[in-house]
Structure 1
Amino acid sequence: MRLRQSCCLVLFLACLAPDARAGEMVMATGDDAVQWRAAPPSLPTGSEISIIAGDPDKPGPFTLRLRFPPNYVIAPHTHATDESVTLLSGTLVHDMGKTIDASRGQSLRPGAFL
């Protein structure tokens, strides 16, 4: 994925684990309710993360918000669990494959879901 401008993504990652917390409700009423912090070192400098629900370090579903700096390229990778992405702001060029090819990809705008 290539990010053309600074963008904010919501990621929902889920795995089927016996101790997944079901039935818990989390409500975030706006950006003021979201706690941002520096993202882990595996993401580019300037990235920010907010854990909305769940715990990414434990089995079970969790939801994150991520902010990436402009023009960041996410290297090809895989996930061990399902992933859903909603683009909140900015532009995201999404492509699938084992290598990065700038001639491919679909440009996504806010509200896009994959």
Structure 2
Amino acid sequence: MPSLKAVIGLIFLLTSIGLSCAKAQERSADYERVTPADIKWAPLPSMPKGAQIAVLHGSLSKPGLFTIRVKLPPHFKLPVHSHPDERVRTIISGTYYSAIGDKVDEAKLMVFPTGTFSNVPPNVWQFAETKDEEVVFQISGVGPTGINYLNPADDPRNSH
């Protein structure tokens, strides 16, 4: 039989847990949830035609944490580019091919199958492509963010 002291301690612990849960629920306005059905894809004008983006959290143009998903069609080529910020990337579906370098060289492409995580340093020249399938990946970083092309002629924003 547990002692009265042990029972009182257990009641105190359960009450504390209940109060903590109630306080967490009060803060639920700060909690974000995005289901696959909530994702809204839009064209990504800073990348070649066919790229799409969904902003899941934050703003790409403001300081702070952001999370996006990027969808690339089959046979997509992303020219040599860099980003001003450090970011982490996880391949959600498909197989992505990417390499570091200031010149496209398909022999350097590394395979990033579904589930692959990578850390992309800031201001590093890189290039990428997809092959016979659509690829979706998720990126998180601290903004503001952007994309810079080594060759200005590769930047689709310059064609307007």
SS at match of 1:32: helix
Does residue 76 of structure 1 match 2:80? yes
Structure 1 residue 46, shift from structure 2 partner: 2.1
The higher radius of gyration belongs to 2
Amino acid at match of 1:99: K
The Cα shift of 1:58 comes to 0.9
Give the Cα separation in 2 of the matches to 1:58 and 1:66.
Answer: 19
> Per residue, is there more helix in 1 or in 2?
2
Q: Structure 1 residue 74: deviation in Å?
A: 1.6
Question: Conserved in 2, the CA contact under 8 Å of 1:75 and 1:100?
Answer: yes
**TM-score, normalising length: structure 1:** 0.71
Contiguous gaps of at least 5 residues in structure 1: 1-23
Moved over 3 A (4+): none
Q: If the length of structure 2 is used for normalisation, what is the TM-score?
A: 0.52
Q: Distance in 1 between matches of 2:31 and 2:116?
A: 24
Aligned to 1:26: 32
Q: What's the CA shift for 1:111?
A: 0.5
Partner of 1:36: 41
Q: Which has the higher contact order (CA 8 A, sep 6+)?
A: 1
Structure 2: unaligned runs, 5 residues or longer: 1-29, 119-160
CA positional deviation for 1:112: 0.5
The percent identity for this pair of structures is 29
TM-superposed CA distance for 1:88, in Å, is 0.7
Aligned residues: 89
